[in-house]
Amino acid sequence: MYPVASSVQSMSGIYIPEIWSLNTLVKFYKATVFGAIANTDYEGEIKKFGDIVHIRTVPDITINDYTVGQNLTYERPQGSVVDLLIDKGKYYAMAINMVEMKQADIAYVEKWTDDAGQQMKIKIDADILANVYADVDASNAGAKAGAESESYDMGAAGAPVGLDKTNILDFIVDMGSVLDEANIPEAGRWLVLPPLFTGMIKKSDLKDASMTGDAQSVVRNGRLGIIDRFTLYASNQIATTSDASGHTAYNVIAGVKAAITFASQLTNNETIKNPNDFGDLMRGLQVYGYETIKGDAMVHGYIYKQ
């Protein structure tokens, strides 16, 4: 209320009404990236029934030297199987009172359900980012990453790689080189970083637009776009580790969509009558699963802010 002298009665709440806005405060949500970094190639096979998809892999065929007249050696190729389990689920549930909904001056129930959908995406995204980095092939992680050369330091327990604006571009290039040594295609590569590190990129030499070929620098337009074949995504949900070195280490990942597969088998939203009150019970369920099917198609960086 507007201040009045101590001897004067305020009219606030008597003749001056309190107004409730018909607009709710804008709510901001954490950005999700799983839709951009994971494929859904096997979702159609699990939609109707079943709780597991057996994904067959193509074996590596041995190539031998040949001389005229030699006896050929035959092999029986053995393929392996990767299982995609639909073994995770998340839900929301809330009670809606009929009287309160009738008397309310805004359609708050719609806003609540919209929020539930956003929160569901955020939880699933955090689940994926917290786990898939551990599935990265050993040749694409650690202090001696690189299937051919073992020359790239991606960071290891007790020795995360310290990054700042002077060396973060070099680290991104090294991540690309690790994927190159694993013979991963260049098309469709992605990299997920926390804002702490994407900010370093904007402060790096990339602020000079001439180095990227863009019309504007990343400082001017705020767009990171593609760096060394990686489409960059910023996320606040990257898994962190309290490292023995005393640093908070971030488990950043990069790769291609073929590395991770995601399947949502059931998304159900329903409303039922509340048996104990006048009104409805609203609830939603999402049943899903994900799996790293090509660990060599990702690279794991174990980094901290230097």
The pLDDT tens digits for 67-116 are: 999 999 999 998 888 888 888 999 999 998 888 888 877 778 888 888 88
Question: CA neighbours within 13 Å on the CB side: how many for 294?
Answer: 22
- C-alpha to C-alpha distance for 149 and 9, rounded to whole angstroms: 82
Are the CB atoms for 145 and 173 separated by under 8 Å? Answer: no
**In the chain, alpha helices (H):** 34-37, 43-46, 98-103, 108-129, 168-181, 195-203, 218-221
The sign of the dihedral angle between the CA atoms of 155, 160, 162, 163 is: positive
What pLDDT does residue 1 have?
65
Helix axis angle, 168-181 to 195-203, nearest 10°: 110
- pLDDT bucket at 261, cuts 50 / 70 / 90: very high
Q: Is 220 left (phi over 0), alpha (psi -120 to 50) or beta?
A: alpha
What pLDDT does residue 219 have?
40
Average pLDDT over residues 111-123: 88
For 141-164, the pLDDT digits (tens) are 999 999 999 999 999 999 999 999
For 44-57, the pLDDT digits (tens) are 887 766 788 888 88
- C-alpha to C-alpha distance for 156 and 300, rounded to whole angstroms: 10
Q: What type of residue is 86?
A: I
Average pLDDT over residues 194-212: 76
Indicate whether 221 pLDDT > 60.
Answer: no
Average pLDDT over residues 191-220: 70
- C-alpha to C-alpha distance for 234 and 31, rounded to whole angstroms: 8
29 bridge partner residues: none
- C-alpha to C-alpha distance for 299 and 259, rounded to whole angstroms: 10
Average pLDDT over residues 37-49: 82
CATH of 31-306, one of 1.10.600, 3.40.50, 3.30.1540, 3.90.1690: 3.90.1690
- DSSP string over 273-295: E-TTSSEEEEEEEEEEEEEES-G
Lowest mean pLDDT among 6-15, 105-114, 189-198, 231-240: 6-15
What pLDDT does residue 50 have?
73
What pLDDT does residue 17 have?
65
Instruction: Compute the mean pLDDT over every residue in the chain, rounded to the nearest whole number.
Output: 86
Q: What's the count of helices (H) and strands (E) in the chain, helices before strands?
A: 7, 12
Indicate whether 137 pLDDT > 90.
Answer: yes
Backbone angles phi, psi at 170, to 5 degrees: -60, -40
- C-alpha to C-alpha distance for 201 and 282, rounded to whole angstroms: 44
Of 172, 141, 155, nearest to 302 (Cα)? 155
Lowest mean pLDDT among 11-25, 39-53, 196-210: 11-25
What pLDDT does residue 26 have?
56
- pLDDT bucket at 128, cuts 50 / 70 / 90: very high
Indicate whether 224 pLDDT > 70.
Answer: no
Are the CB atoms for 86 and 51 separated by under 8 Å? Answer: yes
